[in-house]
Amino acid sequence: MRIELPFPLSLDEIQLKVKGRKNYTTQHNIYAVCTDTRLLKKGDLFIALTGKNDSGENHLAEAKKREAVIISQNSTESHIVVADTELALLKVAVLYIEKITSLKERICISGSVGKTTAKNILGLFLKSSYKTHITEKNENNIIGVSYTLLKTPKDTEILVLEIGMNHLFEIEKISKEVKPTISVITNIGTAHIGNIGSRNLIAKAKLELLCGMEKPLLIVPHEEPLLSGIKGAYTVSDESPDASLYLSNIVTEDDGVRFDVTNSEKNTVRVFLKTHEKSIMKAASMALAVADILKLGAKDIYRGIESINSNFLFKAPIRVNDFYILDDSYNSSAESVICAIENLKQYKGCFSAVLGDMLELGGMTEQLHRKIGEFAAKSGARKIYTFGVYGIFIKQGAVGCGMNPADIFSNDDITDPEITARQIIQNHTEGETILIKASHRLKAHRIADLITQFAGG
C-alpha cells in the first residue's frame, strides 16, 4: 500500500510522534507513506511491517536502494527505530489527521455483529450533511484503521471508523491513539469467544473504545445487560421508551418499514426505511442516535434517511436458473447466522441454508453449532447443507428440533466445495433462496461460484 498525503509531515515530528530512536541527521518532508517496497518512490516513508508470511524487515535493502526514509526495528538500516512498526504506522496516520483543521468528530464503531453495516449506513447518513470519510470494506484491524486515516481527504469533517478485534487490548491500542469523540457498540455476541473466553470479556474488550476518549460518549443497545450499567451511556431501543432514543409505531409495508423515532426530550420524527431486515433497522437506529447527539434537525434526518434508501447496497440474492443464491459468507457467528436466517423471511418462496463452520469459539463450539442447527430447523429451512467439520453438531441440533435427517446434506471437506455445490444443484427446488453462511477462512464463496459455473455450463 502506498498513500500520498495532501500536505507533508516532517521527519522530526514523525520521530517525536512514534517515540522512536533517531538515526538520521538530515531533515526530510514526507509526502507519501508506503508499506510495500514494490510501490516505493524516492523520499517516501517506508514502514517495515512484520507479517506471518513476509516481513518488511526482509526488504530494507530494496527500500534503501529506492532512497526511502525507513521506520523499522532494524537499528542499522532505519532512520527511525521502533519496537512496534504496526503501532508506528497508526501513530503516523494519527499525526496526519491531527493536522486536518476541518475535522470535527472521530466516530468509532465496534461490535460482534453488524459493525460493517452500521459503519456503512452511518457514513451514508452523515454524508448528506457533512464531509464524511469511512473505513473501506471491513478493514478494521490496526493496519486497516491506519490506512483509512491516511486516506482521509483534507476537508473531512467527520471520520467513521470500524474497529475490530480478535483479542483483548487490541481496541485499547487503537482507541488511545485515535481518541474517539463518539463510540458505538452494536452488540455483544460470541465472535472470537474462543480467543477471549466469555461474553463478559468480549464486552470488556469492546469497552476498550473508552480508553482514548476524553469525554466518554458511548452509544449502546438498551437491551444488552452487559452494557446496561455504563454511567452516561446513550442507549438505543426498538421497544423501550426508557432508552435515550427508541423506535415505536413500527409498521411493515410492502417495500419497507415505517416507524417513529423519539429521543429523551420526547422529540419525534417519523421515517421510512426501504428494507425489512432487522439488522438494517438496528444499524439505522444507531445512525439516528448519532444524529441526535450531533443535534441534526428533522430536515437533515430526512435527507440522511433518503441517502440510505437511495444508495445503500442491500445484499440481494442472485438468480441461478430457477432458484436464488444469497452469498453472505464473508464472516459468521451464531448471532450473524440467526440474523441472516431471519432476514430470509423478506423473500418470497422457501429457503435452505449452507451452514459452514464458525471458528474461534473455543469450548462453546459444539453448543453454538447446535444452536444454529436448531434455529434453522425451527425457522422452516427446507434443506440444510453443512460445510466443515462441525456440521455434525449443526445436524444434531436440527434433527433434535424435528428436521428429517434426509433433508440435511453434509460435507466435512472444506477443500472440496464442489461436493456442496453438487448437493445444491441436485436437491434445490424452484423459486427457493439458498443462504451461504460460514467463517471467512472457509472460503465458502467458492460454493456460489461453482453453482453459477455449473448452471452456466
- How many domains does the chain divide into? 3
158 found inside a domain: yes
- Per-residue pLDDT of 349-403, as tens digits, reads 899 999 999 998 989 999 999 999 999 999 999 999 999 999 999 999 999 999 9
60, 36: one domain = yes
Cβ neighbours around 389 below 10 Å, total: 13
Element (H, E) at 266: none
Residue in 81, 41, 87, 88 with CA at minimum distance from that of residue 65: 41
- Per-residue pLDDT of 120-164, as tens digits, reads 899 989 998 999 999 988 789 999 999 999 999 999 999 999 999
Cite the beta strand spans of 119-207 per DSSP E: 132-134, 158-162, 182-185
Residue 456 confidence class, pLDDT cut points 50, 70, 90: low
With a cut of 70, say whether residue 325 has pLDDT above it. Answer: yes
pLDDT for the residue numbered 256:
85
95 found inside a domain: no
94 found inside a domain: no
Identify which has the larger pLDDT, 171 or 347. Answer: 171
CB 48 within 8 A of CB 85: yes
What is the four-CA torsion angle of 82, 87, 93, 99, rounded to 10 degrees?
A: -80
Distance CA 148, CA 410 (A): 40
CB 71 within 8 A of CB 18: yes
Q: Which of 311, 341, 372 delimits the end of a domain?
A: 311
218, 71: one domain = no
Q: Which of 311, 337, 371 delimits the end of a domain?
A: 311
446 found inside a domain: yes
pLDDT for the residue numbered 106:
98
Residue in 179, 181, 230, 176 with CA at minimum distance from that of residue 203: 230
Element (H, E) at 205: helix 199-206
302, 156: one domain = yes
The sheet with strand 234-237 has its strands ordered as 132-134, 158-162, 105-110, 182-185, 218-221, 234-237, 245-253, 256-263, 268-273
CB 262 within 8 A of CB 241: yes
307, 323: one domain = no
CATH assignment at residue 57: 3.40.1390.10
DSSP 296: -
Could you give the percent of the chain with pLDDT greater than 90? 73
CB 110 within 8 A of CB 163: yes
**Mean pLDDT calculated for residue range 263-274:** 93
Distance CA 443, CA 449 (A): 11
284 found inside a domain: yes
CATH assignment at residue 332: 3.90.190.20
Ranges 21-30, 217-226, 323-332: which has the least confidence: 323-332
27 found inside a domain: yes
CATH assignment at residue 288: 3.40.1190.10
For residue 210, the enclosing domain spans 100-311
Distance CA 47, CA 127 (A): 32
With a cut of 90, say whether residue 47 has pLDDT above it. Answer: yes
Distance CA 442, CA 330 (A): 9
46, 29: one domain = yes
214, 176: one domain = yes
Element (H, E) at 222: none
Q: Which of 265, 294, 311 delimits the end of a domain?
A: 311
287, 382: one domain = no
Name the pTM for this structure.
0.81
396, 355: one domain = yes
**Mean pLDDT calculated for residue range 275-297:** 89
pLDDT for the residue numbered 141:
94
pLDDT for the residue numbered 371:
96
Q: Which grid coordinates are listed for 28? A: 526530510
pLDDT for the residue numbered 52:
74
118, 244: one domain = yes
Residue in 61, 59, 67, 81 with CA at minimum distance from that of residue 30: 67
291-298 contacts at long range (C-beta below 8 A, 24 or more positions apart) = 291/125, 292/244, 292/245, 292/263, 293/182, 293/217, 293/219, 293/234, 294/105, 296/129, 298/269
Beta strands 318-320 and 268-273, pairing class: unpaired
324, 307: one domain = no
Residue 433 confidence class, pLDDT cut points 50, 70, 90: very high
Distance CA 457, CA 380 (A): 31
Per the prediction, the chain carries an average pLDDT of 92
Beta strands 384-387 and 351-356, pairing class: parallel
Q: Give just the sign of the alpha carbon dihedral 377, 379, 385, 388.
A: negative
346, 379: one domain = yes
Q: Give just the sign of the alpha carbon dihedral 211, 212, 213, 214.
A: positive
User: 77 burial class (0-12, 13-18, 19+ CB within 10 angstroms)?
Assistant: middle
- Per-residue pLDDT of 201-220, as tens digits, reads 999 999 999 999 998 899 99
With a cut of 80, say whether residue 314 has pLDDT above it. Answer: no
Q: Which grid coordinates are listed for 242? A: 426508557
pLDDT for the residue numbered 457:
46
pLDDT for the residue numbered 254:
77
With a cut of 80, say whether residue 12 has pLDDT above it. Answer: yes
63, 41: one domain = yes
**Mean pLDDT calculated for residue range 223-249:** 90
Which amino acid, 220? V
